[in-house]
Amino acid sequence: MLLRDVELRDVDAYVRIRCDPVMMAELGGPLPQAGIRERVRHDVAAALADTAWIRMIVPDPAVPAVVAGSVVLWTQESEDAPFSEIGWMVLPEFQRRGLGKQAVRQLLQEAHEEERWGEVHAFPSTTNVASNAICRTLGFRLLGEQDKPFAGRLLRANHWVVDTRDGLT
């Protein structure tokens, strides 16, 4: 497995990740396809500018065009102070192989090495067994539940945090 920056050719992967009812079941339902191409352009620019880490999960390094999902670390603006947030998605045919956890671990390790992101927050929905398992087993601390806005909706989420200045468990 390797992580590579998002590229313009990843539109199909974005559509499969964000516009599919199964993939988005824990995230309030599928997003419309209109706007996805623009979203990819926006993300490629952000990755190039290094304002966010937007990585595609490539299961076989010999075939970088085949993508299993994504893992993203960005600065979330908020009414209080901005904070670092991480999110992840793995396509159905690649799930339950450890790829999601490996990808999150790798990005957090990079964050630790660059000493850049400080405390990183994650907000999986309370019913998302796999994502909550990823947080729990990678050393995140559970701070509690909260209603979390996502793509114009409100989700009931667990609030997890890990300090990337510390080593990973």
Ligand X SMILES: CC(C)(COP(=O)(O)OP(=O)(O)OC[C@H]1O[C@@H](n2cnc3c(N)ncnc32)[C@H](O)[C@@H]1OP(=O)(O)O)[C@@H](O)C(=O)NCCC(=O)NCCS
Q: How many residues belong to the site for ligand X (CB under 6 A)? A: 23
Cα–Cα dist 26/24, whole Å: 5
106 binds ligand X per the rule CB under 6 A: no
- Given the complex with ligand X, which of 25 and 48 has the nearer CB atom? 25
98 binds ligand X per the rule CB under 6 A: yes
Query: What DSSP state is assigned to residue 25?
Result: G
Burial of 126 (0-12, 13-18, 19+ CB in 10 A): middle
Of residues 33 through 72, those in contact with ligand X by CB under 6 A are: 69
Q: Which of 44, 95, 116, 163 binds ligand X (CB under 6 A)?
A: 95
Contacting residues for 2 by C-beta, under 8 A, at least 6 apart? 58, 61, 64
Residue span 121-140 as binding mask against ligand X, x where in contact by CB under 6 A, dash where not: ---x---xxxx-xx--x---
85 binds ligand X per the rule CB under 6 A: no
Query: What DSSP state is assigned to residue 8?
Result: G
Q: Which stretch binds ligand X (CB under 6 A): 6-14, 74-82, 94-102, 147-155?
A: 94-102
Measure Cα distances from 63 to 2, 41, 58 in Å: 10, 22, 8
- Given the complex with ligand X, which of 40 and 155 has the nearer CB atom? 155
Cβ 66 vs Cβ 58: under 8 Å: yes
The footprint of ligand X (CB under 6 A) covers 23, 26-27, 69, 87-90, 95-101, 124, 128-131, 133-134, 137
